[in-house]
Amino acid sequence: MIHEIWREYPEIEKALKETKQTMRKGISIRIPEIEVKIQEYIDAPGKYLRAGLSLMFFYMENGSMNKKIITYAAAIELLHLATLIHDDVIDTADSRRGIEAMHIAQSNKIAVYAGDYLFSYSGRLASDLIDEVQFQNRNKWILENIMSGELRQLANTFNKEMTMIDYIRQIRGKTAMLFGLSVSGGYYLANNDIRKAQNVRLLGTYLGIAFQLQDDLIDFLVPAGTSGKPIMQDVPNGIYTAPLLLAMEKSDSVRRYVNESVEWDEASLDKLSLMIKETGAFHNTEVLINRYIEKALFYLDKISDSEYKAQIEKIILLISNRQY
Protein backbone atom coordinates (compact mmCIF):
# COMPACT_ATOMS: atom_id res chain seq x y z
CA MET A 1 0.00 0.00 0.00
CA ILE A 2 1.37 3.41 -1.05
CA HIS A 3 0.50 6.52 0.97
CA GLU A 4 -2.27 8.73 -0.40
CA ILE A 5 0.01 11.73 -0.90
CA TRP A 6 1.40 10.02 -4.02
CA ARG A 7 -1.97 9.41 -5.71
CA GLU A 8 -1.60 12.53 -7.84
CA TYR A 9 1.79 11.29 -9.08
CA PRO A 10 1.16 7.94 -10.84
CA GLU A 11 4.77 7.58 -12.05
CA ILE A 12 6.04 7.99 -8.49
CA GLU A 13 3.36 5.74 -7.01
CA LYS A 14 4.27 2.95 -9.45
CA ALA A 15 7.99 3.41 -8.78
CA LEU A 16 7.44 3.31 -5.00
CA LYS A 17 5.74 -0.07 -5.36
CA GLU A 18 8.85 -1.29 -7.18
CA THR A 19 11.01 0.32 -4.48
CA LYS A 20 9.22 -1.66 -1.77
CA GLN A 21 9.68 -4.86 -3.80
CA THR A 22 13.41 -4.14 -4.08
CA MET A 23 13.63 -3.56 -0.32
CA ARG A 24 11.85 -6.84 0.42
CA LYS A 25 13.67 -9.15 -1.94
CA GLY A 26 17.20 -8.35 -0.77
CA ILE A 27 16.68 -9.15 2.92
CA SER A 28 18.79 -12.15 3.90
CA ILE A 29 18.73 -12.41 7.69
CA ARG A 30 17.46 -16.01 7.73
CA ILE A 31 15.91 -15.54 11.15
CA PRO A 32 12.22 -15.84 10.25
CA GLU A 33 10.65 -13.81 13.05
CA ILE A 34 13.04 -10.87 12.56
CA GLU A 35 12.78 -10.99 8.79
CA VAL A 36 8.99 -11.01 9.04
CA LYS A 37 9.10 -7.99 11.38
CA ILE A 38 11.31 -6.03 8.98
CA GLN A 39 8.93 -6.91 6.14
CA GLU A 40 6.11 -5.62 8.33
CA TYR A 41 7.93 -2.29 8.73
CA ILE A 42 8.42 -2.06 4.96
CA ASP A 43 4.75 -2.79 4.27
CA ALA A 44 3.43 -0.45 6.98
CA PRO A 45 1.69 2.73 5.73
CA GLY A 46 4.61 5.14 5.90
CA LYS A 47 4.82 8.16 3.59
CA TYR A 48 8.12 7.09 1.96
CA LEU A 49 8.93 10.77 1.47
CA ARG A 50 12.67 10.37 1.05
CA ALA A 51 12.35 7.62 -1.54
CA GLY A 52 9.54 9.49 -3.27
CA LEU A 53 11.57 12.68 -3.49
CA SER A 54 14.56 10.77 -4.91
CA LEU A 55 12.26 9.40 -7.59
CA MET A 56 10.69 12.80 -8.31
CA PHE A 57 14.01 14.55 -8.88
CA PHE A 58 15.22 11.73 -11.10
CA TYR A 59 12.00 11.72 -13.11
CA MET A 60 12.09 15.50 -13.50
CA GLU A 61 15.45 15.24 -15.27
CA ASN A 62 15.17 11.86 -16.98
CA GLY A 63 11.50 11.63 -17.95
CA SER A 64 11.31 7.93 -17.06
CA MET A 65 12.36 5.51 -14.33
CA ASN A 66 15.04 2.81 -14.42
CA LYS A 67 16.47 0.13 -12.15
CA LYS A 68 19.22 2.40 -10.83
CA ILE A 69 16.89 4.98 -9.33
CA ILE A 70 14.58 2.31 -7.91
CA THR A 71 17.57 0.74 -6.16
CA TYR A 72 18.77 4.13 -4.90
CA ALA A 73 15.32 4.96 -3.53
CA ALA A 74 15.28 1.58 -1.76
CA ALA A 75 18.71 2.26 -0.24
CA ILE A 76 17.56 5.67 1.01
CA GLU A 77 14.40 4.29 2.58
CA LEU A 78 16.28 1.41 4.23
CA LEU A 79 18.69 3.91 5.76
CA HIS A 80 15.74 5.89 7.08
CA LEU A 81 14.09 2.73 8.42
CA ALA A 82 17.28 1.83 10.28
CA THR A 83 17.25 5.20 12.05
CA LEU A 84 13.57 4.75 12.96
CA ILE A 85 14.20 1.39 14.61
CA HIS A 86 17.09 2.87 16.60
CA ASP A 87 14.99 5.92 17.49
CA ASP A 88 12.23 3.74 18.89
CA VAL A 89 14.69 2.03 21.22
CA ILE A 90 16.00 5.37 22.48
CA ASP A 91 12.52 6.90 22.77
CA THR A 92 10.97 3.72 24.24
CA ALA A 93 8.16 4.12 21.68
CA ASP A 94 5.60 1.33 21.61
CA SER A 95 4.62 1.70 17.97
CA ARG A 96 5.79 2.97 14.61
CA ARG A 97 3.72 3.47 11.45
CA GLY A 98 0.79 1.92 13.27
CA ILE A 99 2.59 -1.34 14.10
CA GLU A 100 4.31 -2.67 17.21
CA ALA A 101 7.89 -1.38 17.44
CA MET A 102 10.72 -3.84 16.86
CA HIS A 103 12.12 -3.55 20.39
CA ILE A 104 8.68 -4.33 21.85
CA ALA A 105 8.10 -7.30 19.54
CA GLN A 106 11.63 -8.63 20.12
CA SER A 107 14.09 -6.85 22.44
CA ASN A 108 16.26 -3.76 22.60
CA LYS A 109 19.34 -5.73 21.58
CA ILE A 110 17.64 -7.34 18.60
CA ALA A 111 16.21 -3.97 17.52
CA VAL A 112 19.66 -2.35 17.63
CA TYR A 113 21.19 -5.14 15.57
CA ALA A 114 18.23 -5.11 13.16
CA GLY A 115 18.81 -1.39 12.62
CA ASP A 116 22.52 -2.03 12.08
CA TYR A 117 21.64 -4.74 9.55
CA LEU A 118 19.46 -2.29 7.62
CA PHE A 119 22.32 0.26 7.60
CA SER A 120 24.53 -2.41 6.03
CA TYR A 121 21.84 -3.52 3.60
CA SER A 122 21.32 0.09 2.51
CA GLY A 123 25.04 0.50 1.93
CA ARG A 124 25.15 -2.70 -0.12
CA LEU A 125 22.42 -1.43 -2.43
CA ALA A 126 23.96 2.03 -2.80
CA SER A 127 27.62 1.04 -3.15
CA ASP A 128 27.57 0.21 -6.86
CA LEU A 129 25.12 2.88 -7.98
CA ILE A 130 27.11 6.10 -7.96
CA ASP A 131 30.76 5.64 -8.85
CA GLU A 132 31.42 9.30 -9.64
CA VAL A 133 34.31 10.32 -7.37
CA GLN A 134 33.18 13.94 -7.00
CA PHE A 135 29.72 12.92 -5.79
CA GLN A 136 31.20 10.43 -3.33
CA ASN A 137 33.72 12.93 -2.00
CA ARG A 138 31.05 15.57 -1.39
CA ASN A 139 28.64 13.19 0.30
CA LYS A 140 30.80 10.59 2.06
CA TRP A 141 30.46 12.40 5.40
CA ILE A 142 26.65 12.50 5.34
CA LEU A 143 26.15 9.14 7.06
CA GLU A 144 28.56 10.22 9.80
CA ASN A 145 26.59 13.43 10.25
CA ILE A 146 23.31 11.53 10.44
CA MET A 147 24.71 9.33 13.20
CA SER A 148 26.31 12.36 14.86
CA GLY A 149 22.86 13.96 14.93
CA GLU A 150 21.46 10.83 16.58
CA LEU A 151 24.22 10.96 19.18
CA ARG A 152 23.67 14.68 19.70
CA GLN A 153 19.99 14.03 20.44
CA LEU A 154 20.90 11.33 22.92
CA ALA A 155 23.48 13.58 24.60
CA ASN A 156 20.91 16.39 24.81
CA THR A 157 18.33 14.22 26.56
CA PHE A 158 16.83 16.22 29.47
CA ASN A 159 19.18 19.10 28.60
CA LYS A 160 17.11 22.11 29.65
CA GLU A 161 19.91 24.48 28.62
CA MET A 162 19.73 23.49 24.96
CA THR A 163 19.12 26.43 22.61
CA MET A 164 17.35 26.60 19.27
CA ILE A 165 20.74 26.93 17.59
CA ASP A 166 21.76 23.65 19.21
CA TYR A 167 18.49 22.08 18.13
CA ILE A 168 18.71 23.17 14.48
CA ARG A 169 22.26 21.79 14.38
CA GLN A 170 20.96 18.52 15.83
CA ILE A 171 18.11 18.06 13.35
CA ARG A 172 20.27 19.17 10.44
CA GLY A 173 22.34 16.05 11.04
CA LYS A 174 19.64 13.72 12.33
CA THR A 175 16.92 14.43 9.75
CA ALA A 176 17.77 17.04 7.16
CA MET A 177 20.93 15.58 5.65
CA LEU A 178 19.11 12.40 4.64
CA PHE A 179 16.58 14.54 2.77
CA GLY A 180 19.52 16.27 1.08
CA LEU A 181 21.11 12.97 0.10
CA SER A 182 17.76 11.67 -1.16
CA VAL A 183 17.07 14.48 -3.62
CA SER A 184 20.66 15.14 -4.72
CA GLY A 185 21.29 11.45 -5.44
CA GLY A 186 18.12 11.16 -7.50
CA TYR A 187 18.99 14.32 -9.41
CA TYR A 188 22.62 13.30 -9.97
CA LEU A 189 21.73 9.82 -11.23
CA ALA A 190 19.66 11.48 -13.95
CA ASN A 191 22.20 13.98 -15.29
CA ASN A 192 25.66 13.63 -13.65
CA ASP A 193 25.77 17.39 -12.95
CA ILE A 194 27.65 17.62 -9.65
CA ARG A 195 27.32 21.42 -9.29
CA LYS A 196 23.55 21.43 -9.69
CA ALA A 197 23.28 18.32 -7.51
CA GLN A 198 24.85 20.27 -4.65
CA ASN A 199 22.19 22.99 -5.00
CA VAL A 200 19.57 20.25 -4.90
CA ARG A 201 21.23 18.85 -1.77
CA LEU A 202 20.81 22.22 -0.05
CA LEU A 203 17.17 22.27 -1.15
CA GLY A 204 16.66 18.88 0.48
CA THR A 205 18.49 19.89 3.64
CA TYR A 206 16.27 22.95 4.17
CA LEU A 207 13.18 20.90 3.36
CA GLY A 208 14.31 18.32 5.92
CA ILE A 209 14.64 20.96 8.64
CA ALA A 210 11.15 22.25 7.83
CA PHE A 211 9.84 18.67 7.88
CA GLN A 212 11.24 18.02 11.35
CA LEU A 213 9.89 21.31 12.70
CA GLN A 214 6.47 20.36 11.32
CA ASP A 215 6.83 16.97 13.03
CA ASP A 216 7.50 18.82 16.28
CA LEU A 217 4.24 20.73 15.92
CA ILE A 218 2.32 17.56 15.05
CA ASP A 219 3.58 15.90 18.23
CA PHE A 220 1.85 18.60 20.29
CA LEU A 221 -1.19 19.46 18.19
CA VAL A 222 -2.47 16.42 16.25
CA PRO A 223 -4.85 13.96 17.96
CA ALA A 224 -3.49 10.53 18.91
CA GLY A 225 -3.80 7.93 16.16
CA THR A 226 -3.57 10.45 13.32
CA SER A 227 0.19 10.44 12.75
CA GLY A 228 0.82 6.70 13.07
CA LYS A 229 2.99 7.12 16.16
CA PRO A 230 2.42 8.08 19.80
CA ILE A 231 2.04 11.81 20.46
CA MET A 232 3.58 13.98 23.19
CA GLN A 233 6.13 11.33 24.07
CA ASP A 234 9.16 13.54 23.50
CA VAL A 235 8.90 15.59 26.70
CA PRO A 236 8.62 12.59 29.08
CA ASN A 237 11.61 11.07 27.27
CA GLY A 238 13.64 14.24 27.75
CA ILE A 239 13.61 15.15 24.06
CA TYR A 240 13.02 18.89 23.84
CA THR A 241 11.86 20.05 20.42
CA ALA A 242 11.28 23.42 18.76
CA PRO A 243 7.94 24.51 20.31
CA LEU A 244 9.13 23.75 23.84
CA LEU A 245 12.57 25.29 23.33
CA LEU A 246 11.06 28.46 21.89
CA ALA A 247 8.60 28.62 24.79
CA MET A 248 11.34 28.12 27.40
CA GLU A 249 13.41 30.88 25.81
CA LYS A 250 10.44 33.24 26.15
CA SER A 251 8.83 32.16 29.43
CA ASP A 252 10.43 31.44 32.80
CA SER A 253 7.16 29.83 33.94
CA VAL A 254 7.38 27.22 31.17
CA ARG A 255 11.01 26.53 32.08
CA ARG A 256 10.10 26.15 35.76
CA TYR A 257 7.19 23.86 34.93
CA VAL A 258 9.45 21.58 32.89
CA ASN A 259 12.07 21.60 35.64
CA GLU A 260 9.53 20.73 38.32
CA SER A 261 7.34 18.19 36.49
CA VAL A 262 8.95 14.85 37.29
CA GLU A 263 5.91 12.67 36.58
CA TRP A 264 4.40 13.41 33.20
CA ASP A 265 0.82 12.30 32.64
CA GLU A 266 -1.93 13.36 30.24
CA ALA A 267 -3.05 16.26 32.44
CA SER A 268 0.44 17.70 32.95
CA LEU A 269 1.26 17.36 29.25
CA ASP A 270 -1.99 19.09 28.29
CA LYS A 271 -1.16 21.92 30.68
CA LEU A 272 2.32 22.23 29.18
CA SER A 273 0.85 22.34 25.67
CA LEU A 274 -1.47 25.18 26.72
CA MET A 275 1.42 27.08 28.31
CA ILE A 276 3.47 26.69 25.14
CA LYS A 277 0.56 27.97 23.06
CA GLU A 278 0.20 31.04 25.28
CA THR A 279 3.84 32.01 24.64
CA GLY A 280 3.23 32.05 20.88
CA ALA A 281 5.79 29.26 20.37
CA PHE A 282 3.51 27.21 18.11
CA HIS A 283 3.12 30.23 15.83
CA ASN A 284 6.85 30.95 15.99
CA THR A 285 7.57 27.36 14.97
CA GLU A 286 5.30 27.84 11.95
CA VAL A 287 7.25 31.00 11.08
CA LEU A 288 10.48 28.99 11.18
CA ILE A 289 8.96 26.27 9.00
CA ASN A 290 7.99 28.85 6.37
CA ARG A 291 11.46 30.36 6.50
CA TYR A 292 13.12 27.03 5.70
CA ILE A 293 10.55 26.24 3.01
CA GLU A 294 11.40 29.57 1.37
CA LYS A 295 15.08 28.57 1.42
CA ALA A 296 14.22 25.22 -0.18
CA LEU A 297 12.16 26.93 -2.89
CA PHE A 298 15.03 29.36 -3.53
CA TYR A 299 17.20 26.42 -4.58
CA LEU A 300 14.35 24.84 -6.53
CA ASP A 301 14.18 28.05 -8.58
CA LYS A 302 17.78 27.43 -9.68
CA ILE A 303 16.64 24.30 -11.55
CA SER A 304 15.51 24.74 -15.16
CA ASP A 305 11.76 25.14 -15.52
CA SER A 306 9.74 22.09 -16.46
CA GLU A 307 6.24 20.75 -16.00
CA TYR A 308 7.46 18.39 -13.29
CA LYS A 309 9.29 21.12 -11.40
CA ALA A 310 5.89 22.62 -10.57
CA GLN A 311 4.80 19.23 -9.23
CA ILE A 312 7.85 19.14 -6.96
CA GLU A 313 7.01 22.60 -5.62
CA LYS A 314 3.49 21.35 -4.91
CA ILE A 315 4.72 18.33 -2.93
CA ILE A 316 7.18 20.52 -0.98
CA LEU A 317 4.34 22.80 0.09
CA LEU A 318 2.18 19.78 0.92
CA ILE A 319 4.91 18.32 3.14
CA SER A 320 5.34 21.60 5.00
CA ASN A 321 1.60 21.94 5.70
CA ARG A 322 0.79 18.33 6.51
CA GLN A 323 -1.15 17.34 9.63
CA TYR A 324 0.02 13.70 9.80
51-84 burial, b at 16+ Cβ within 10 Å, e below that, comes to bbbbbbbbbbbbeebeebbbbbbbbbbbbbbbbb
Give the pLDDT confidence of 142-191 residue by residue, as tens digits. 778 888 888 888 899 999 899 999 999 999 998 999 999 999 999 999 98
Question: Among residues 69, 70, 91, which one has the least CA distance to residue 215?
Answer: 91
Q: Where are the beta strands (DSSP E) in the chain?
A: 95-96, 99-100
Q: What is the model's pLDDT at position 86?
A: 87
Instruction: Tell me the domains of the chain and their CATH numbers.
Output: 1-129 (1.10.600.10), 132-323 (1.10.600.10)
Q: How high is the pLDDT of residue 50?
A: 96
Residues of the chain predicted below pLDDT 70: 130-140, 223-231, 262, 323-324
User: How does pLDDT run across 129-150, given as a tens digit for each residue?
Assistant: 766 555 666 566 777 888 888 8
- Which pLDDT does position 142 carry in this prediction? 75
**Torsion angle of C-alpha atoms 255, 260, 266, 267, degrees rounded to 10:** -90
